[in-house]
């Protein structure tokens, strides 16, 4: 699953809201850029330990190089 989709799904699950009730993800981060960064990492022979953090819908979001999404 794409990181941008995973972020919205996890925040919706945590809040108990439908994903369509959340603010647009692009208000916090460029979803295409987020997906592109991690797809280029997963396609490369060397996987740097990239981590991106940002705030979205009142939560701190952390996406790691292995596309693990944490919502705090």
Check if the beta carbon of residue 54 is closer than 8 Å to that of residue 28: yes
pLDDT at 49: 77
pLDDT at 65: 79
* Residues in the chain with pLDDT values less than 50: none
Q: Give the domain range for residue 22.
A: 3-71
Residue 24: exposed, middle, or buried by beta-carbon count in 10 A (0-12, 13-18, 19+)?
exposed
Name the helix (H) or strand (E) containing 34: helix 31-43
pLDDT at 36: 87
Provide the whole-model pTM: 0.85
Specify the number of domains making up the chain: 1
pLDDT at 60: 98
């Amino acid at each position: 699953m794409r990181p941008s989709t995973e972020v919205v799904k996890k925040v919706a699950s945590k809040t108990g809201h439908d994903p369509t009730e959340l603010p647009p993800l692009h208000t916090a981060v460029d979803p295409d850029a987020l997906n592109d960064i991690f797809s280029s990492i997963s396609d490369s022979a060397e996987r740097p330990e990239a981590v991106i953090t940002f705030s979205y819908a009142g939560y701190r979001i952390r996406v790691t190089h292995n596309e693990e999404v944490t919502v705090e």
